[in-house]
Chain A
């Protein structure tokens, strides 16, 4: 037996001082919103160039154009071929990439701080003088379409893509995969990419975020020098309203014969980033399925052993993204798992959080915030959110206080307001002949079985 008293957990020591790094803000002559944070821990720098246009502005028949344009960006510049650009970046040890979301395009650079001038020069060249040679565009297009084929045969990705088409009405961009479809992609040409970049790769409403072991005044000069001559604003904004596909609860089984597991998605239209009850709703989601100790995970994994893990999330976007519970479970327990998920949703809506649940999740959210600000890239990502969602400069300085101020009543109300188990769309990718009967018996609503559509 132990000689020290181990019966109770030790209490916390004194809390050290910690704050979000201070951010210097400038506007370049071309209107670009420049934000700089000096973080001198290690001699590195993380750069994000945020461009205000993403997939959400595109019509369905050119879905994927923003993503493809970003992927083809490394195909070369007016001065360099794609190979020369890659070689120039990697020879200074720079990591470069471009990614696309619904709200915008983010071009990122990560390198040692003493390479920032060279790195930013190359980033600026890639974004402001892209050449899109046809062989590189075709390469990116083939890669992108092959990626869509892979998603269509990966049961988890397939389940997510199908589920979005069940949550949102067809006219809502969020109903389709972020990467577009084989159909939309195959129709795109080099001309489309050149046109898209020419119109949308513009500094207006965008931001440049630079975080690391750098001198802010030097960064201002450097940014002005490399990007100051780049002008204009993207022409289009997001013009759609988010409507659900239906308010009827339905079940869809996508038949994947021989599956040893079922991928499960249960969800509906969620909430936008600007809702007033963002913090209470985030806590409600943590109670439900946002942590290991959440209700869903303790039920489906630790009590029933149905799954390796289950989570729930609200995808907060400029408009209402999906709310979704996702998991993969053994084929024979598929219906039982869906029943438990629906039960947990009802439980939280009808009874609200109990005991220490809100306190525990509040403490988790406030504490883990500080743990996730170690790297220059993590800090840059946070600052980029300020630009993307138009949040106040003080936002992350006040973040932990805002989290700690959330009350149980507010969480209860947010859960009632935003969780709608009676309208949930249930999507299963699994072996239909094994799972359809038991799912039908749950009586959740109309059940449809589809064969797995192979993207060819």
Chain B
């Protein structure tokens, strides 16, 4: 297939807001996507979970938009919307029929510029309850629900920006105040800390006029303060660290993770391809070896976290059968990872072929296109990276995979988290 040619135009408003357009007239859809450069890594001790709670507050209205009106108006034109908070960023996205682009820009600009007048204690208390229920539903009431929290604490030292989870702790959520909302807003929700991408059936000139009209008068904020924690860590953990859990889980599970260079590092592409060899698709090493051949795992997962601060994470896991021996499963995973020192070119070709299909699939939706463009603009000042993303992975050589696995995926840089069903003989 020929190289990707997603249309991209970049601008910056005087207040610092970075703007990316990606016109595509083939669908009657406009995606409005905002990335703010704030996430759980910006939370100091005692305020974990606040970036996410704040994201909820952004839907509680602004000076000209009453509570719930944002959802009501977007749904009322047949649009969809949501937001998410992660370690390094918070994103907000509205997808609307393209003739309602202006509505989405009005709503997003109103909360970027005029959120605070609409805040009150009742709304904060309500959304605190909602978020606490989100935490219960997604983590506390789920088998294996605490795996992320446990794993982060193994990979990162206390005080590191990724030591704590995005959802945070109940105590810290309880402690959040309206003053916290106000100071978080004026510190981080400023145009000079945001990227706005508009993709789909839009005319960039007209869209730029609208963006200027709605966002142009929002005052810039001060420079973003440094992270509260210390992102500098050794490149490797230095040993194998372990956490063994016996709890109400249906099946044994071994989670193995490694500290790897951050997303900005050239080596990150090597990690991405290595993880694809291990766990992407059913011809991958872990699936073929553990699931199909040895039948000691029901399923396998591999993932690399695209994280910015200090170090990222390389993760694999295997979920066993009721009778699977944890140690045997762990050893089998280690063997497959160790086997990467013999990685072959045809495996790389397979991984690249699958990655290409998946990327084109992602780009079928303008909302996802916009999300990637916002990310590349915010993280790397380079939205055009979207069009060269596959080349970055294609350039990875077998030799690089072999040396990366030998250097970074060994027992001196390893976290092992295991879950075993309670009451198992």
Q: Which residues of A contact B (CB under 8 A)?
A: 2-4, 6-7, 9-10, 12-18, 41-44, 74, 82-83, 86-87, 89-95, 110-112, 114, 135-136, 138-139, 142-143, 146-147, 149-150, 152-155, 259-261, 291-293, 298, 301-308, 328-330, 360, 363-371, 373-377, 456
Q: Report Cα–Cα, A364/B214, bound state, in Å.
A: 25
**A143: which B residues are within 8 A, CB to CB?**
291, 298-299
Contact A302 B67 (CB under 8 A): yes
Contact B1 A114 (CB under 8 A): yes
Contact A86 B136 (CB under 8 A): no
Q: Which residue of A lies closest to B145 (CB)?
A: A260
Contact B354 A41 (CB under 8 A): no
Query: What are 6 inter-chain pairs, A to B, with CB distance below 8 A?
Result: A9-B73, A110-B357, A308-B133, A363-B77, A370-B29, A375-B364
Interface residues of B in 25-82 (CB under 8 A from A): 26-29, 63-64, 67-68, 71-73, 75-80
Contact A9 B106 (CB under 8 A): yes
Contact B78 A371 (CB under 8 A): yes
Contact B141 A261 (CB under 8 A): yes
Stretch with Cβ within 8 A of A (4 or more), from B243-251, B380-388, B394-402, B403-411: B243-251
**A6: which B residues are within 8 A, CB to CB?**
63-64, 106, 110, 114
Q: Does residue B99 face the partner (Cβ distance < 8 Å to A)?
A: yes
Q: Which residues of B contact A (CB under 8 A)?
A: 1, 24, 26-29, 63-64, 67-68, 71-73, 75-80, 95-103, 106-107, 110, 113-114, 125-134, 136-138, 140-143, 201, 213-214, 217, 248-251, 281-283, 287-288, 291-292, 295, 298-299, 319, 321-322, 346, 349-350, 353-358, 360-361, 363-366
Q: A374-B366, A375-B361 are contacts. A16–B282 as well, Cβ < 8 Å?
A: no
Contact B322 A292 (CB under 8 A): no
Contact A308 B1 (CB under 8 A): no
By DSSP majority rule, is chain B's interface helix, strand, loop, or mixed? helix
Q: Report Cα–Cα, A4/B210, bound state, in Å.
A: 12
Q: Report Cα–Cα, A87/B354, bound state, in Å.
A: 11
Contact A308 B201 (CB under 8 A): no
Q: Given contacts A44-B361, A153-B250, A308-B138, list 13 more A-B pairs with CB under 8 A.
A: A2-B114, A9-B73, A12-B103, A13-B101, A41-B24, A90-B282, A94-B357, A150-B251, A152-B250, A261-B136, A261-B137, A364-B77, A367-B78
Contact of A293 among B71, B201, B251, B282 (CB under 8 A): B71
Q: Which residue of B lies closest to A360 (CB)?
A: B76
Q: Report Cα–Cα, A86/B347, bound state, in Å.
A: 12
Q: Report Cα–Cα, A366/B100, bound state, in Å.
A: 14
Q: With contacts defined as CB atoms under 8 Å apart, how many contacts are there between chain A and chain B in the complex? A: 228
Q: A9-B103, A292-B71 are contacts. A146–B357 as well, Cβ < 8 Å?
A: no
Contact of B130 among A110, A154, A301 (CB under 8 A): A301
**A306: which B residues are within 8 A, CB to CB?**
129, 133
Contact B295 A139 (CB under 8 A): yes
Contact A82 B295 (CB under 8 A): no
Give, as a whole number of angstroms, the nearest-CB distance from B30 to chain A: 10
Q: Report Cα–Cα, A213/B350, bound state, in Å.
A: 23
Contact A155 B141 (CB under 8 A): yes
Contact B75 A15 (CB under 8 A): no
Contact A305 B130 (CB under 8 A): yes
Contact A307 B73 (CB under 8 A): no
Q: Report Cα–Cα, A2/B134, bound state, in Å.
A: 35
**A10: which B residues are within 8 A, CB to CB?**
102-103, 106
Q: A87-B350, A308-B137 are contacts. A370–B291 as well, Cβ < 8 Å?
A: no
Q: A7-B64, A15-B97, A260-B141 are contacts. A83–B292 as well, Cβ < 8 Å?
A: yes
Contact A365 B78 (CB under 8 A): yes
Q: A308-B133, A371-B80 are contacts. A16–B99 as well, Cβ < 8 Å?
A: yes
Give, as a whole number of angstroms, the nearest-CB distance from B311 to chain A: 30
Q: Report Cα–Cα, A91/B352, bound state, in Å.
A: 9
Q: A261-B137, A363-B76, A375-B364 are contacts. A153–B143 as well, Cβ < 8 Å?
A: yes
**A155: which B residues are within 8 A, CB to CB?**
141-142
**B75: which A residues are within 8 A, CB to CB?**
291-293, 360, 364
Contact B28 A370 (CB under 8 A): yes
**B366: which A residues are within 8 A, CB to CB?**
374
**B99: which A residues are within 8 A, CB to CB?**
12-16
Contact of A374 among B96, B319, B356, B365 (CB under 8 A): B365
**B321: which A residues are within 8 A, CB to CB?**
142, 146
